[in-house]
Every structure is written in structure tokens, then in C-alpha cells.
Amino acid sequence: MTALEGTIKEFGIADILQLICQQQKTGVITVEYKAGKAEIYLSEGTIVAAHDATSTAINSLGDTLIRAKLITPQELQKALKTQQNTFEYMGEILVQQGTVTRQDLEKALLVQIYETFYDILQWKEGSYKFIPKSIKIKAPVAYPLTIESLLLDTLRMIDEWTDIKRTIPSFDILFQQVPGMLPENLREDGLFVFNLADGSRTTQHIINESLLGRFSTCKILAALLQAGYISPVTARAGASQKSFKKISYQIFSATASYVVLCITIVIIFFLPTTFPENILPILNPAHLNQSSLREYRQNRTVAKIEKALEVYRIKQGSYPENLDKLMYAGFLKESDLKLQGPDQILYMTDSDTFSLKIGPAEK
């Protein structure tokens, strides 16, 4: 059997996946980038499973089910012993033993697929290798996955994650229900996440137990938080004396630094020279446009447009003739296509590829 391999830089992973799925191939795609490694399983062009192959867990699916508290480590070990004799797929063994339901198995498979795609679609470099081989994993039949819908969903998740992260910046945050606040008209998933936010579980624990994936779980938590149904758990009282001294020292150091900074600024402003402008260019608006903040905003704008272009190509079959079509199709707002300052976004395409960069406005 001939393997297909190459680099992501030469041929994007989204493109290679579409090609293999369109040809209804069966086998395994391995994608590697730096220390990361992922495996995607296909059966006749249908994606039936995907997981992080760098995981240190004995069994990736089993570890997901353990973290969701659907099985115990002992039940996983029992299934592993059975697998050594029968060589059956782990998920099927767990279902046959009555350890998990098929519905929970399908949810776990979907979480692994979306989490894997979420990671690898953000890899700009790396390599891939497709090896044709028979696959024993059964597709999650209740949720038929097409490569187009999977890519669209994942790119949307990547695009929305920046806003969600502003509300939930860490998976270590604990959330608790606000007394007297009972959410109404919540879907089953939303109510489940709300009940898990009991003040004892971190965001990561809620992600694990909800079996909805990090994006969906955090999106629900962000909505509940903004609606006032849940709140972060504040630091517990009774901190040790050592912690108190450490915090006091940090406050003292920060205060001292602030005082020194204020004195320095006062001295600078009273000097009869252009010294402030030379030392603190941010005081001059003309220099602000040349700052790293402007470059950061430009890079973020370009990244957002690139994602919208990929979604457009997946849906329409080719890249748009101009960027305005992204706005008309509802993928971007008019403000997303504008830059602060004199530069503009330069876009060129031949339908199959595109060039996107920032340059001076045309006269």
C-alpha cells in the first residue's frame, strides 16, 4: 500500500483531508508539528475518529471517558485485557461490557475529533502522512460528519475563541452558581454545565465531565457568566502567613515602582527640551502609529481575514475575487477590512491560492 506524505507548508492539512475524503479512502493520517502529533482515522472517506497521539494515557479514548467520570480506571484495565485477546476496538468492548452507552461513546469520539481538528488546523508548519489500511472503528452514526461541515465548524470555533478567552482566560478558574439565580430556557447541555459549576470544579474539570469539548463548554460558561447566573469563586479566607507576606511584599514592590515612575514622568515633563518625546515616543501620537500595538492589530486583522477566506473557499469551492465578497457573504464586517493608519490590505487570488499582505494605499 502506497503512503501519501508531505509538509503542511506545501499542502495545507485542510486540503489534503478534503482530497482523501473526496476519493473515499480508508486509512490513517498522522500529522506532526514540533512536539505535537495527531492521528485521524477515515473509513471510505468518512472521519470516524481522531485523537492526540502525543498523549501519555494508556488509551486515549479510555482516558477521555475516565476524565468524564463515565468509567473507572479498573474498568478500562478490564477492557484492555479483553482487547489483547480479541483485538477489537476499545469503544466497542466498553459498549459490549455495558460499561458505557453507545451515546456516550459517540459523544467522546466527537469531542476527540473536534479537539484534534481545533489543534491541527492552527499548525502552520509540520508534516503529514496518510497510510491506507483497514479501520475497525465504527463511525458515530448519530452524527454523520462531512469534511466540509467539520472544517467549517472548527474554523468558526478558532475565530470565536479569542472573544471567549477574554471572559474565561484560564481553565483553572472555579465557578459557582449565584444564589437565587436559576437560568430559564436553557438547553440540556447548558443546564448540565450550569449544574457542574458548583464551586468545587475548575473550568477544566467542567470541560472533562460535560463531554462537550473546551469550546462548547467555555462558550456556555461565558454566556452563564455574562447573564449573571454563575460567578468566579473568590480566594478562600485563611491564607497562610507565608502567602500573606508574599502578597504584602508584591503590593509594596508594585507601589514603590509606581511612585518611582510618577517621579520620573514629572521630571521629564518639566525639562525644557524635547526629551519626553525622545524617551517616551508613545506621548507623541505620530509615533503611536508606528508602535508594536499597531503591528499587533494589523496581524490580528490579517489572521481573521485568512480564516474567513478559508471558510469561503470550503463553502464556495474557490477564493473570492475580492475581499468585499467576504462581507456580503456574512463572514466579516466592514470594519474587519479596514486598518488604522495609511496602509491597506492587498489581496490577490487565482481562485486556488491567494496572497494577502499589508502595504501602502494606492494613489
Q: What is the pLDDT of residues 207-225, one digit of tens each?
A: 999 999 999 999 999 999 9
Mean pLDDT within 49-73: 83
Question: Mean pLDDT: which of 87-91, 101-105, 357-361 is highest?
Answer: 101-105
How far apart are alpha carbons 327 and 48 in whole angstroms?
34
- Predicted pLDDT of residue 142: 54
d(CA 216, CA 226): 15
Rounded Cα distance between 74 and 80, Å, is 10
Position 327 pLDDT exceeds 60: yes
Q: Are 177 and 230 contacting, i.e. CB atoms less than 8 angstroms apart?
A: yes
Nearest to 361 by CA among 337, 345, 338: 345
Q: Are strands 46-52 and 230-232 parallel, antiparallel or unpaired?
A: unpaired
Nearest residue to 31 via CA among 57, 8, 56:
8
Rounded Cα gap, residues 347 and 310, in angstroms: 14
- Nearest Cα residue to 8 out of 16, 155, 116, 21: 16
Question: In angstroms, rounded to a whole number, what is the distance separating the alpha carbons of residues 291 and 170?
Answer: 28
The reported pLDDT for the residue numbered 324 is 87
Residue 255 has pLDDT above 70, yes or no: no
Dihedral, 160, 163, 167, 173 alpha carbons, nearest 10: 50
For 111-165, the pLDDT digits (tens) are 999 999 999 998 888 999 999 988 877 655 555 678 888 888 898 899 899 899 9
